Amino acid sequence: MLTPLTGQVYEGLPAFADHLQAELGIDTASWGPLYYLEDTASIGQGSCFWNQNIWLAPFQLTFGSITEAAAALRDIQRNWAPTLFTQFRRGALMQSQLPFLSAKPRPFPWSVPHTPVGAWTLLDAHTLIASAHCSSPFPRGVITFEEDKEGPPSRAYLKLWEALVRLRKWPGPGDRCLDAGASPGGWTWALARLGAKVSAVDRAPLADRILAMPGVRWIRHDAFTLKPEDLGPLEWLFCDVICYPPRLYEWIQRWLDSGLCSNFICTIKMQGKPDFETTRRFAAIPGSQVVHLYHNKHELTWIRGV
């Protein structure tokens, strides 16, 4: 029997469970790493950012056999990713009866398919919770890439790749990009490889091989004291500066007010405690989203593309 649930399920990030609990206003998970909140209107200001994936339309299914349960999910849609915390053998058996879902590392650029990826878990031998619609386009919110171990001087480019894949859009040849807080050059490397023209701003230098890439120029400066008119117009603004979130917000507002750039990807780096208030202000900027990427650490990513 299939029973829709009225709330949502939030898949926690093990390292940031306390942040998620603070957002949801509950202090224990419902099932394994999963938090079920019946009344989502009760979330502080209506937003939850410190999660790996949100199950947007969950339902409970009681079933007689695993074969019956797998058939019920297949009848809804093709793609389903499990989060198992109990019933591991039955869960593996059930997954083997669902269409194969590749977890292989992706190349970049990669166009993520528009087909939805659902989520499910087993509560006991005859009960599961599932949702056909989830907030992340990736199974369980997880994506890995075919890494380049030679070119980039840091692994920070992975979160930029993830943000661009999530946005389903990336700079093309000749696009003007600002990379604020660019040293040692992982993001600049990723952008220059796309053929973009990159102004890399940082007081610290970039690796020599990145500076030698076509289209790259280094501006030795504090990014926040450069005015939009000094650098714009731009197709893209990227920022990975370590700073207090309000400082980043104030600078981004100046760029938005200037109208000189429309596409933005910025890391909101938490200094000590998470800054929920500034995060909500970023999320309220029209046309934007704030997410915790799989490749983020104690930080969130603000993404706005037009």
Ligand X SMILES: C[S@@+](CC[C@H](N)C(=O)[O-])C[C@H]1O[C@@H](n2cnc3c(N)ncnc32)[C@H](O)[C@@H]1O
183 binds ligand X (CB under 6 A): yes
- 104 annotated active-site: no
From 11, 162, 240, 299, residue interacting with ligand X (rule: CB under 6 A): 240
91 binds ligand X (CB under 6 A): no
From 242, 253, 259, 287, residue interacting with ligand X (rule: CB under 6 A): 242
- Smallest separation, CB 164 to ligand X (Å): 13
Residues 257-296 interacting with ligand X (rule: CB under 6 A): none
Which residue lies nearer to ligand X by CB, 74 or 297? 297
204 binds ligand X (CB under 6 A): yes
Give the number of residues written for the chain.
306
Beta bridge partners of 201: 180, 219
Catalytic residue from among 104, 269, 273, 297 = 269
- Single out the segment in contact with ligand X by CB under 6 A; choices: 92-100, 125-133, 164-172, 177-185: 177-185
From 77, 79, 154, 258, residue interacting with ligand X (rule: CB under 6 A): 154
Which residue lies nearer to ligand X by CB, 9 or 156? 156
Q: Is the previous residue joined to 233 through a cis bond, with omega within 30 degrees of 0?
A: yes
186 binds ligand X (CB under 6 A): yes
- Single out the segment in contact with ligand X by CB under 6 A; choices: 75-83, 107-115, 119-127, 181-189: 181-189
Contact 42, 81 (CB under 8 A): no
| Closest by Cα among 152, 149, 237 to 189 | 152
Which residue lies nearer to ligand X by CB, 223 or 283? 223
